[in-house]
Amino acid sequence: MAPSSAAGRGGGNAGLADPLLAAGDIDGARQVGGDAKDKYWVPAEEEDELICHGGGLGDGRQPPLLYRTFRVSGVLLHPYRLLTLIRLIAVILFLVWRMKHRSSDAMWLWWISVAGDFWFGVTWLLNQASKLNPIKRVPNLSLLKQYLDDDDRLLPAIDVFINTVDPIDEPMLYTMNSVLSILATDYPADRHATYFSDDGASLVHYEGLLETARFAAAVWVPFCRKHRVEPRAPEFYFAAAKAAGTYEGLAPEEFVGDRRIVRREYEEFKARLDAIFAVIPQRSEAGDGGGNDKGRSVKATLMADGTQWPGTWTEPAENHKKGQHAGIVKVVLSHPNDEPQLGKPASSESDHAMDFSAVDIRVPMLVYIAREKRPGYDHQKKAGAMNVQLRVSALLTNAPFVINFDGDHYINNSQAFRAAMCFMLDARHGDDTAFVQFPQRFDEVDPTDRYCNHNRVFFDATLLGLNGVQGPSYVGTGCLFRRVALYGTDPPRWRPNDDAKAIGCTAKYGNSMPFISTISSDCSIASLPAMAELEDVAKCAYEDGTDWGRDVGWVYDVATEDVVTGFRLHRKGWRSMYCAMEPDAFRGTAPINLTERLYQILRWSGGSLEMFFSRNCPLLAGRRLRAMQRVAYTNMTAYPVSALFIVVYDLLPVVWLSYHHRRRGGEFHIQKPFPEYVAYLVAVIAMIEVIGVVEIKWAGLTMLDWWRNEQFYMIGATGVYPTAVLHILLKRVFGMKGVRFKLTAKQLAVGGARERFAEMYDVHWAPLLFPTMVVMAVNVVAIGAATGKAVVGGWTAAQVAGGWTAVQIAGALVGLLFNVWILVLLYPFALGIMGSWSKRPWALLALLVAACAAVAAGFVAVHAVIAAGFGPSWLGWSRGASVCVTAVLPSGWRV
Query: Quick check: 372 binds ligand UPG (CB under 6 A)?
Result: no
Q: What's the one-letter identity of residue 817?
A: L
Closest to ligand UPG by CB, 104 or 477: 477
Query: Quick check: 202 binds ligand UPG (CB under 6 A)?
Result: no
Closest to ligand UPG by CB, 355 or 596: 596
In the bound complex, what is the minimum distance in angstroms from residue 453's beta carbon to Mn ion? 10
Query: Quick check: 163 binds ligand UPG (CB under 6 A)?
Result: yes
In the bound complex, what is the minimum distance in angstroms from residue 168's beta carbon to Mn ion? 15
CA-based nearest residue to 329, from 364, 387, 368, 302: 368
Phi (first) and psi of residue 575, to 5 degrees? -120, 175
Cβ neighbours around 734 below 10 Å, total: 7
CA-based nearest residue to 40, from 639, 848, 697, 800: 697
In the bound complex, what is the minimum distance in angstroms from residue 15's beta carbon to ligand UPG? 28
Report whether 406 belongs to an annotated binding site: yes
Closest to Mn ion by CB, 412 or 635: 412
Is the separation of the CB atoms in 403 and 424 below 8 Å?
no
Mask of contacts with ligand UPG, 589-608, x by CB under 6 A? Answer: -----------x--xx----
Question: Binds 553, which of Mn ion, ligand UPG, none (CB < 5 to 8 A, cut-off by type)?
Answer: none
Query: Quick check: 182 binds ligand UPG (CB under 6 A)?
Result: no
- 427/56 Cα distance (integer angstroms): 6
The DSSP bridge partners found for residue 552 are 548
Query: Quick check: 335 binds ligand UPG (CB under 6 A)?
Result: no
The terminus-to-terminus CA distance of the chain in angstroms comes to: 12
Report whether 789 belongs to an annotated binding site: no
DSSP 216: I
- 598/382 Cα distance (integer angstroms): 20
Question: Binds 600, which of ligand UPG, Mn ion, none (CB < 5 to 8 A, cut-off by type)?
Answer: ligand UPG
Cβ neighbours around 697 below 10 Å, total: 17
Closest to Mn ion by CB, 608 or 744: 744
Is the separation of the CB atoms in 186 and 222 below 8 Å?
no
Scanning 164-172, 445-453, 789-797, 830-838 for contacts with ligand UPG by CB under 6 A, the matching segment is: 164-172
Bridging pattern class, strands 365-370 and 328-333? antiparallel
Query: Quick check: 382 binds ligand UPG (CB under 6 A)?
Result: yes
Scanning 399-407, 563-571, 689-697, 850-858 for contacts with Mn ion by CB under 5 A, the matching segment is: 399-407
Is the separation of the CB atoms in 502 and 487 below 8 Å?
yes
Closest to Mn ion by CB, 399 or 559: 559
- 178/672 Cα distance (integer angstroms): 60
70 membership: H or E segment, kind and range: strand 67-72
Determine the size of the site formed for Mn ion (CB under 5 A): 2
HEC assignment per residue over 382-421? HHHHHHHHHHHHHHHCCCCEEEEEECCCEECCCCHHHHHH
Query: Quick check: 562 binds ligand UPG (CB under 6 A)?
Result: yes
Closest to ligand UPG by CB, 600 or 718: 600
Q: How open is the CA angle 285-288-294, to the nearest 5 degrees?
A: 115
Cβ neighbours around 139 below 10 Å, total: 26
Q: Is 27 a catalytic residue?
A: no
Applying CB under 6 A, among 159, 170, 610, 710 the residue interacting with ligand UPG is 170
Closest to ligand UPG by CB, 37 or 205: 205
Site for ligand UPG in 212-231 (CB under 6 A): none
Report whether 381 belongs to an annotated binding site: yes
Report whether 170 belongs to an annotated binding site: yes
CA-based nearest residue to 771, from 831, 829, 844, 856: 829
- 269/11 Cα distance (integer angstroms): 32
Closest to Mn ion by CB, 518 or 744: 744
Applying CB under 6 A, among 407, 640, 653, 890 the residue interacting with ligand UPG is 407
Question: Binds 170, which of Mn ion, ligand UPG, none (CB < 5 to 8 A, cut-off by type)?
Answer: ligand UPG
* DSSP-H helix ranges across 397-450: 416-424
- 66/144 Cα distance (integer angstroms): 6
In the bound complex, what is the minimum distance in angstroms from residue 27's beta carbon to ligand UPG? 36
CA-based nearest residue to 198, from 161, 166, 170, 160: 166
Scanning 8-16, 157-165, 256-264, 805-813 for contacts with ligand UPG by CB under 6 A, the matching segment is: 157-165
Applying CB under 6 A, among 629, 671, 744, 779 the residue interacting with ligand UPG is 744
Cβ neighbours around 679 below 10 Å, total: 15
Q: What's the one-letter identity of residue 465?
A: G
C-alpha dihedral sign at 623, 627, 628, 634: positive
Is the separation of the CB atoms in 886 and 815 below 8 Å?
yes
Question: Binds 477, which of Mn ion, ligand UPG, none (CB < 5 to 8 A, cut-off by type)?
Answer: ligand UPG
Q: What's the one-letter identity of residue 742?
A: K
Closest to ligand UPG by CB, 470 or 600: 600
- 828/445 Cα distance (integer angstroms): 14
780 membership: H or E segment, kind and range: helix 770-791
CA-based nearest residue to 80, from 467, 627, 461: 461
In the bound complex, what is the minimum distance in angstroms from residue 671's beta carbon to ligand UPG? 40
Q: How open is the CA angle 595-599-600, to the nearest 5 degrees?
A: 115
CA-based nearest residue to 299, from 278, 312, 311, 284: 284
- 217/786 Cα distance (integer angstroms): 70
Query: Quick check: 716 binds ligand UPG (CB under 6 A)?
Result: no
Query: Quick check: 134 binds ligand UPG (CB under 6 A)?
Result: no
Closest to ligand UPG by CB, 222 or 476: 476
18, 355, 431, 562: the active-site residue: 562
Cα–Cα distance list, 872 to 259, 666, 799, 865, 866 (Å): 81, 10, 17, 11, 7
Site for Mn ion in 739-758 (CB under 5 A): 744
Closest to ligand UPG by CB, 56 or 167: 167
Applying CB under 6 A, among 560, 808, 819, 891 the residue interacting with ligand UPG is 560
Question: Binds 387, which of Mn ion, ligand UPG, none (CB < 5 to 8 A, cut-off by type)?
Answer: none
Question: Binds 199, which of Mn ion, ligand UPG, none (CB < 5 to 8 A, cut-off by type)?
Answer: ligand UPG
Site for Mn ion in 544-603 (CB under 5 A): none
Report whether 339 belongs to an annotated binding site: no
117, 199, 431, 705: the active-site residue: 199
Query: Quick check: 406 binds ligand UPG (CB under 6 A)?
Result: yes
Scanning 80-88, 738-746, 770-778, 864-872 for contacts with ligand UPG by CB under 6 A, the matching segment is: 738-746
Query: Quick check: 476 binds ligand UPG (CB under 6 A)?
Result: yes
Per DSSP, the three-state class of 690 is: helix
Query: Quick check: 660 binds ligand UPG (CB under 6 A)?
Result: no
In the bound complex, what is the minimum distance in angstroms from residue 158's beta carbon to ligand UPG? 18
- 878/462 Cα distance (integer angstroms): 39
Determine the size of the site formed for ligand UPG (CB under 6 A): 21
- 322/514 Cα distance (integer angstroms): 29
Q: How many residues does this entry show for the chain? A: 895
Mask of contacts with Mn ion, 695-734, x by CB under 5 A? Answer: ----------------------------------------
Residues forming the site for Mn ion (CB under 5 A) = 406, 744
Binding site for ligand UPG (CB under 6 A): 163-165, 170, 197, 199, 381-382, 385, 406-407, 476-477, 560, 562, 600, 603-604, 741, 743-744
Q: Which residues are annotated as a binding site for Mn(2+)?
A: 382, 406
Point out the annotated binding site for UDP-alpha-D-glucose: 170, 199, 381
What residue numbers does the annotated binding site cover? 170, 199, 381-382, 406
Active site residues: 199, 562
